[in-house]
Amino acid sequence: MLHLRYPASGTLPRMKPVAAVAALLLLVASCSASEPEAPPVELPPVGGRFDYQIGGIYQPDARVKIVVRDRGKIPVGDRYNVCYLNALQTQPDPMEGSLSWWRQNHGDLLVKKPDGQPVIDPEWDEGILDISTADKRQKILDIQKKWIEGCKISRFQAIEADNLDSHTRAGGAFDLNATKEFMKAFVKHAHEKGLAVAQKNGGELGDSGKKYIGFDFAITEDCEANGECKHYADAFGDNFFQIEYTDEAFQKSCADRGGKVAIIRRDRNVVPYGHSDYVNEVCPAS
């Protein structure tokens, strides 16, 4: 910031016209250089009961405070809503961002096998986005910005960014460092829109998920079953939301941290209420 000193008489100091114009331009530039302040980001209530509905939506229990739904679904008006978005792999059909959509519109941004066919995650039949270079990362983020902003327009408060482990299925196309760089830019844009971002799994990130990438909280699957819950506790304290799919891991989690960390047991395909496979349990009240 330029400070102009004035004589005691209160008259302006004499300056040559060119110098005066230069000083004025410098003053204007210094005032306009600062970026606009990002809107505040709202975090979910720590330990609040939550419901994981990415396999199909239904009316949550009245005691549920946090609901996770796919970005193509409508949030629940009186809860804290998290918008599920597959950040590093393709979206389910028939959404924009499906495997067929990427192949038709941006085939160069998919990880390919030597025969030119997309590398597929066999468990979910999803293509893997190629974030191997800074240029590709920027192009993919530019596409996803509309989806991030769509979550905000739909009145979600946060985003769950899935498949942080895609590098393990990418056949060497990119590594965890590329994931960190992409997600850092992803989180920055979401924060600029006033959205919090949850780290989905990715225990191997350690504290870099919070400290370097900027994740605000975490949503974990099978962290007890896989012996990874400590990674999330070290990074986020009690502000992580734990889903277990086996009764043994669920019961142990409730005994170890129930009442502090939000923990639920769900069926593996997180089907909606009313389905014959539906499972949705919470830790018993202490």
The pLDDT tens digits for 9-59 are 444 444 444 444 444 444 434 444 455 687 899 999 999 999 999 999 999
Contact 66, 264 (CB under 8 A): no
For domain 47-282, give the fold: TIM Barrel (3.20.20)
Indicate if the pLDDT at residue 76 is higher than 50.
yes
Contact 42, 254 (CB under 8 A): no
The pLDDT tens digits for 162-189 are 999 999 999 999 999 999 999 999 999 9
- Break the chain into its structural domains and give their ranges: 1-34, 47-282
Predicted pLDDT of residue 93 = 86
Contact 162, 87 (CB under 8 A): yes
pTM, full prediction: 0.86
Strands 240-244 and 80-86: unpaired
- φ/ψ of 275, rounded to 5, equals -75, 150
